[in-house]
Amino acid sequence: MDGRTAARQPIEQDSPASGRLKPNALGVLGILFLVLSAQAPLTGIAGAVPLSVGLGDGPGVPAAYVAAGAVILLFSVGFVAMGRHVVDAGAFYTYIGRGLGRTCGAGSAAVAVFAYCTVQAAMYGLYGATVSGIVKEHTGAEVPWWIWALATMAVVQVLGATGIEMGAKVLAVFVLAEMSVLLAFGLVTLFRGGGPEGLGFAHSFSPGAALKGAPGVALMFAVASMFGFEATAIYGEEAREPHRTVPRATYLSIVVVTAFFAFTSWMVVSSYGASGATGAASKALAGGDGSAFVFAPIAERFGGWANDVLPVLLATSLFAGMLAFHNSANRYLFSLSREGLLPRSLRTLNRRHSPWVAGSVQTAVAVLLVVPFALTGKDPVLTLFSWFSGVAVLAMMLLYFLTSVSVIVFFRREQLDTRLWNTLIAPALGALGLAGAIWLILANLTTLIGGDRTTATWLALAVPVVLALGAGAAWIIRGRAR
């Protein structure tokens, strides 16, 4: 009996030996918090908005978030339609495999694991530097960033092994904390009529504002901020009534994230005024701390205490993201093991129905990715964070595109759903939008990673190489099995 057949058999819900993740463990809100934590709202605002405003289209950045949200929403229509017929922790791997063939699906699984592991490693770099800075400021002790990163990997491993419910609860606390501060700032700014030039709605959302400057750069960072919403399908096997819960969580997460980023970035721009926002962002970036562009107006509204609290919330935001990506990656490894493409031991579950062996392997990969940067003395923000977050975004956009194409092929062949909008038109429009996003990312990858053209080229080539290696390995394994 192969992994997929076994997955369809009736099981005892309290038996980890069944090879199934714990059913009925998550509702809509639980999945929503897992998605929001992966997108690390404060990290996205403090990290991406200064770059988008300073290097992109200035005060028109909020419109870029709306445009990115529209593309992702189109993609999600077909994504959700296919999710009604395919429920598996492999998500993209399973979706692409059902539409474009199992070999292509296996290649996409390798890209997904690559994306989740590299973005998590990137977060460890920024997290270690942030925590090291906080400790030094308040105690005077200079502890290397990598010590904090390695210690936190152990904490993430333990939390990941305690079960998805505990992870969702921990993430909910962190996400609510960071979003509450940003929303409070946004609402206060809104009700006070904005900054020195008012709210400036037209300066941020009009077509002219959206196309001003370098809109491609702003759209690239906006799309990158959406990274992680696809986790709704990854947790389908653990969701209550997945055919209802997953679609609702998917649409809700996209709407919430788009509205949050568009509104918060608008209020940040408004606090400076449309004419002063670009200069302020450029100054903060030139000073080496782009987050000051976001933190300064918040501290001005709420007082100096915000300067002490916001770095801590940035650290917890990163921790939430690292835990979320740990959970996503180990479920991919678990699913691939269940399909027979990885060693059988990776499908082992503990009493809490958590794939703890797969989680241990994922943690080991994180160590292998982070340690070389520590040994060579590289700056964790300028290299580890910048390089790996850039290549991870490129890898994930490729998966989105392949999934959109797979949805079209799958429904044209299977005829399980005859709604043209859901199975053809929206996925096709989403694929076109995603193709454009991939082109923008490739054209601006040097900017995205903060490196040179040679580094950007090698990182970009890594994605198709991983895709080919994954597909080739699957072809060999299945050939030997036959």
- Count Cβ atoms below 10 Å from residue 285 Cβ, excluding itself: 17
Which three-class secondary structure string do you get for 247-259?
Answer: HHHHHHHHHHHHH
Q: pLDDT above 70 covers what percent of the chain?
A: 85
* 367/361 Cα distance (integer angstroms): 10
- How does pLDDT run across 106-132, given as a tens digit for each residue? 899 899 889 989 999 998 998 998 899
The token pair at 349 is: 């579950």
User: Residue 239: its pLDDT value, please?
Assistant: 64
DSSP letter for 416, please.
S
Two tokens, residue 192:
């006070």
Asked if 227 and 72 touch (Cβ cutoff 8 Å), the reply is no
Q: Are 46 and 294 in contact (CB under 8 A)?
A: yes
- Of residues 83 and 23, the one with the higher pLDDT is 83
- The crossing angle, in degrees rounded to 10, of helices 356-375 and 305-338 is 120
Q: What is the pLDDT of residue 408?
A: 93
Evaluate if residue 14 carries a pLDDT over 90. Answer: no
Residue 214 vs residues 61, 62, 201, 363: alpha-carbon distances, Å: 10, 14, 19, 38
SS3 assignment, position 198? strand
DSSP-based three-state secondary structure for 195:
strand
How far, CA to CA in Å, does 320 sit from each of 55, 176, 449?
28, 11, 22
Looking at residue 330, its amino acid is: N
- Quick check: 89 and 331 in contact, CB under 8 A? yes
Who has greater pLDDT, 175 or 411? 411
Give me 328's structure tokens.
């996503």
Considering only CA atoms, which of 118, 72, 86 is closest in space to residue 328?
Answer: 118
Distance CA 330, CA 361 (A): 8
Residues 318 and 73: beta-carbon distance below 8 Å: no
Of the chain, the end-to-end C-alpha distance in Å amounts to: 14
Mean per-residue pLDDT over the chain, rounded: 83
d(CA 277, CA 65): 17
Of 466, 474, 472, give the one whose Cα is nearest residue 395.
Answer: 466
For residues 60 and 199, the answer to whether their CB atoms sit within 8 Å is: no
Q: What pLDDT does 429 receive?
A: 95
H/E stretch holding 96: helix 92-100
Residue 33 has pLDDT above 80, yes or no: no
Q: How many CB atoms lie within 10 A of CB 37?
A: 30
pLDDT band at 233 (very low <50, low <70, confident <90, very high): low
Please check the confidence at residue 160 and state whether its pLDDT lies above 90. Answer: no
Six-digit token pair at 91? 């998500």
- Other CB atoms within a 10 A radius of the CB of residue 378 amount to 14
**Confidence band, pLDDT 50/70/90 cuts, at residue 9:** very low
Q: Phi, psi at residue 372, to the nearest 5°? A: -55, -35
- Tell me the per-residue pLDDT of 382-435, one tens digit each, with 9 for 90 and over: 889 888 988 988 998 899 999 999 999 999 888 888 889 989 999 999 999 999
Confidence of residue 475 (pLDDT cuts 50, 70, 90): confident
Helix axes 426-443, 215-225, angle to 10 degrees: 120
